């Protein structure tokens, strides 16, 4: 089953690192439930099934396949694939990197079985590129160092449309999606049991083509330290019995005259996502400008910290958003008020509210609490968390490589709150290490979302969900997911203003899907709580 294209109503899919996957395999083998050789047979069969689906000309005969096997169990899968394709009548050539004598036991056994039907040829410098299909079974989960030119050279001239990768394209780190040295680009990548972070993060999607995750009969779950967001993690549809005060009150702080647009976008996002009330806190000089441009959003005058404290005496205001268009000076004076000890309101800090503390991030971190969300893009992240950002920028010397999950986790732990690191592979991390990936990749790719003001709307979505009572992590992950859904809904030509206005259609679809589940048609698809 293709995880990406299944359209299942699951809230989230666990993403397993190579080590977590290995632990599941080992536990299954140790329990006697399955042997390594059986798992390898199933893995090979899953790849062949994907090939039959993706290359229907195979069934018509005269299909020439080249299988490239590496020195580990990924190569072991390759021997199985070669045998099964030969049994289906394909013409198969097989090349091995290194010597067969050093193969691990299960791979060795499959190498021996293959030898009964075909030759094991030494590694070629180059291939003619004329075969119908090339199977990349060189390295998978065991990639431990940068891949040299000699390894990828045979596939250099082969178009990706004719390459299927086993578990991962060779050279791609499955934990991080980063390329170690050089990497193969495939049309289809077949992975087993659960997808891996590297299929979604960084360069992963550019190299994987399409990802198919196949069951190989393993039962175990991992520690659930990382998930891919597939649907809202917190409730977004309103219950029938609520009223506006039961949906919270979000306050968005605006910048001065001529700089209020960003906060207005944020406020609109908070309102559309269902906060009961949304107020813009505006300096006196900008009041007229904001009043003329905002409907549905209330206004209150917030000139400085004193006025802000006064406004916060209203305890019904339960979520704050500071940053979009705020200006750094205003951020420096207002953010401490928002974070004042004892108030424990939900606080979203974005843009200027992050940049304002670039010189003294520790002063900010000391005030943050678990009800806060920081929403940095890459540049803001690097200013607040220079060490992990620097490590991530370095060329990886070994696998598994440091990932965006690792650095977002480190940042969340350091800050003591949820951190949402923006990108086409947005990562949301909680201080306890839990991570969610909102991948705007593959069928959810939305390049048109890279538009001015889109981030302001995202901050508003988060603040609005938190006003409605969602926890910081759930709100951030859900907002990120809905943000991409809105962009998909609207399509190319999108500008930031369109995002909140696209939300009703997205929510309607969720409502319809929920209705179908209530009616029982999708009762099979349950969700697992994220704890
Ligand atoms: N029983 C199992 O554990 C199963 C494993 N499976 C397959 O096994 C794979 C993992 O197998 P392994 O752990 O053996 O790992 P790999 O087969 O991915 O690679 C490990 C081997 O490659 C070498 N190597 C790593 N990076 C290198 C580099 N840059 N240049 C040269 N050599 C390099 C290592 O020294 C080691 O010999 C999975 O990706 C999957 O395809 C599947 O068959 C399912 C069952
Ligand atoms: K591979």
CA of 134 to the centre of ligand 2 (A): 11
Q: Which residue has the tokens 């993060």?
A: 201
Residue 5 has a pLDDT of 34
Average pLDDT over every residue of 389-416: 97
Q: Which residue has the tokens 């990924």?
A: 74
Residues whose CB falls within 8 Å of the CB of residue 306, separated by 6 or more in sequence, listed in order: none
Average pLDDT over every residue of 444-470: 97
Q: Cβ distance 125 to 154 under 8 Å?
A: yes
- DSSP result, 167-199: SS-TTB-TTT--BSB-----SEEEEESS--GGG
User: Could you tell me the sign of the dihedral formed by the alpha carbons of 484, 486, 490, 496, in that order?
Assistant: negative
Say which ligand is closest to the CA of 164: 2
Site residues for ligand 1, CB cut-off 6 Å = 25, 36, 39-40, 43, 70-77, 104, 139-147, 166-167, 192
> Is residue 529 over pLDDT 60?
no
Tokens of 262: 């960003």
pLDDT category of residue 527 using cuts at 50, 70 and 90: very low
Residue 520 has a pLDDT of 61
Structure confidence by residue, pLDDT tens digits, 76-128: 999 999 999 999 999 999 999 999 999 999 999 999 999 999 999 999 999 98
CA 296 vs. chain centroid, Å, equals 33
Contacts 24+ apart (CB under 8 A), 331-335: 331/355, 331/356, 331/357, 332/356, 332/357, 333/304, 333/305, 334/253, 334/302, 334/304, 334/305, 334/308, 335/364, 335/367
- DSSP result, 14-28: E---HHHHHHHHHHH
pLDDT category of residue 49 using cuts at 50, 70 and 90: very high
Which helix (H) or strand (E) segment is 38 a member of?
Answer: helix 36-54
Q: Which atom of ligand 1 is found nearest the CA of 76?
A: 43
What pTM was computed for the model?
0.95
Q: Cβ distance 183 to 198 under 8 Å?
A: no
Angle at CA of residue 234, ends 321 and 378, nearest 5° = 50
Structure confidence by residue, pLDDT tens digits, 228-277: 999 999 999 987 777 777 899 999 999 999 999 999 999 999 999 999 99
Assign residue 299 a region (left: φ > 0; alpha: ψ between -120 and 50; beta: otherwise): beta
User: Would you call 87 helix, strand, or coil by DSSP?
Assistant: helix
Residue 7 has a pLDDT of 39
Say which ligand is closest to the CA of 143: 1
Q: Which atom of ligand 1 is found nearest the CA of 40?
A: 43
Distance CA(157)–CA(8), nearest Å, equals 37
Distance CA(338)–CA(354), nearest Å, equals 13
What is the percentage of the chain residues whose pLDDT exceeds 90? 89
Domains of the chain: 12-224 (3.40.50.10260), 244-517 (3.40.1190.20)
Beta strands in 263-403 (DSSP E): 277-282, 298-301, 317-322, 346-349, 372-374
pLDDT category of residue 9 using cuts at 50, 70 and 90: low
Average pLDDT over every residue of 492-507: 98
> Is residue 530 over pLDDT 50?
no
* Residue 51: closest CA among 80, 25, 24, 27: 80
Is ipTM > 0.90 here? yes
pLDDT category of residue 525 using cuts at 50, 70 and 90: very low
Structure confidence by residue, pLDDT tens digits, 196-223: 999 999 999 999 999 999 999 999 888 9
Pocket perturbation via mutation, ligand 1, pick of 70, 75, 208 by most ligand atoms within 8 A of CB: 70
Structure confidence by residue, pLDDT tens digits, 366-385: 999 999 999 999 999 999 99
Question: Terminus-to-terminus CA distance in the chain, angstroms?
Answer: 26
CA of 138 to the centre of ligand 1 (A): 8
314 is in an annotated binding site: no
For ligand 1, atom 40, name the residue with the nearest CA.
74
Q: Is the peptide bond before 8 cis (omega within 30 degrees of 0)?
A: no
DSSP-assigned beta bridge partners for residue 437: 228, 427
Q: Cβ distance 479 to 500 under 8 Å?
A: no
Distance CA(166)–CA(183), nearest Å, equals 13
170 is in an annotated binding site: yes
């Amino acid at each position: 089953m293709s995880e990406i294209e299944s359209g299942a109503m699951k809230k989230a899919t666990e993403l397993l690192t190579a080590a977590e996957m290995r632990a599941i395999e080992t536990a299954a083998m140790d329990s006697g439930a399955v042997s390594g050789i059986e798992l390898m047979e199933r893995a090979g069969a899953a790849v062949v099934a994907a090939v039959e689906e993706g290359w229907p000309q195979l069934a018509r005969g005269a299909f020439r396949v080249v299988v490239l096997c590496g020195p580990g169990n990924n190569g072991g899968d390759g021997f199985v694939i070669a045998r099964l394709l030969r049994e289906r009548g394909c013409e198969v050539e097989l090349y091995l990197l290194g010597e067969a004598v050093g193969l691990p036991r299960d791979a060795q056994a499959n190498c021996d079985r293959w030898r009964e039907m075909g030759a094991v040829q030494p590694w070629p410098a180059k291939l003619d590129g004329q075969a119908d299909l090339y199977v990349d079974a060189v390295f998978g989960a065991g990639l431990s160092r940068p891949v040299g030119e000699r390894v990828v050279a045979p596939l250099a001239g082969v178009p990706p449309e004719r390459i299927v990768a086993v578990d991962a394209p060779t050279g791609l780190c499955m934990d991080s999606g980063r390329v170690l040295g050089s990497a193969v680009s495939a049309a289809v990548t077949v992975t087993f049991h659960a997808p891996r972070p590297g299929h979604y993060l960084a360069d992963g999607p550019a190299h994987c083509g399409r990802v198919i995750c196949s069951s190989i009969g393993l039962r175990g779950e991992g520690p659930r330290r990382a998930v891919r967001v597939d649907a809202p993690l917190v409730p977004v549809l309103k219950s029938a019995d609520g009223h506006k005060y039961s949906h919270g009150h979000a306050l968005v702080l605006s910048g001065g005259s001529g700089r209020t647009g960003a906060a207005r976008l944020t406020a609109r996002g908070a309102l559309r996502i269902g906060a009961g009330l949304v107020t813009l806190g505006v300096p006196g000089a900008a009041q007229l400008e904001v009043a003329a441009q905002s409907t549905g959003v209330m206004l209150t005058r917030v000139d400085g910290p004193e006025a802000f404290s006064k406004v916060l005496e209203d305890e019904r205001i339960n979520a704050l958003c500071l940053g979009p268009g705020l200006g750094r000076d205003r951020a420096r004076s207002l953010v401490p008020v928002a974070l004042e000890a004892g108030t424990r309101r939900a606080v979203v800090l974005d843009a200027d509210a992050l940049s304002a503390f670039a010189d003294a991030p520790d002063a900010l971190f000391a005030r943050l609490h678990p009800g806060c969300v920081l929403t940095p893009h890459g540049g803001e992240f690097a200013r607040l968390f220079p060490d992990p950002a620097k490590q991530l920028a370095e060329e990886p010397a070994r696998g598994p490589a440091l990932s965006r999950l690792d650095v977002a986790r480190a940042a969340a732990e350091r800050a003591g709150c949820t951190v949402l690191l923006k990108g086409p592979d947005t990562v949301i991390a909680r201080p306890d290490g839990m991570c969610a990936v909102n991948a705007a990749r593959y069928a959810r790719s939305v390049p048109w979302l890279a538009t001015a003001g889109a981030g302001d709307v995202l901050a508003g979505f988060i603040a609005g969900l938190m006003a409605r009572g969602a926890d910081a992590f759930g709100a951030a992950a859900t907002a990120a997911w809905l943000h991409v859904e809105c962009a998909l809904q609207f399509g190319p030509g999108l500008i930031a203003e369109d995002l909140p206005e696209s939300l009703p259609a997205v929510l309607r679809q969720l409502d319809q899907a929920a209705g179908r589940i209530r009616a029982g048609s999708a009762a099979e698809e349950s969700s697992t709580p994220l704890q």
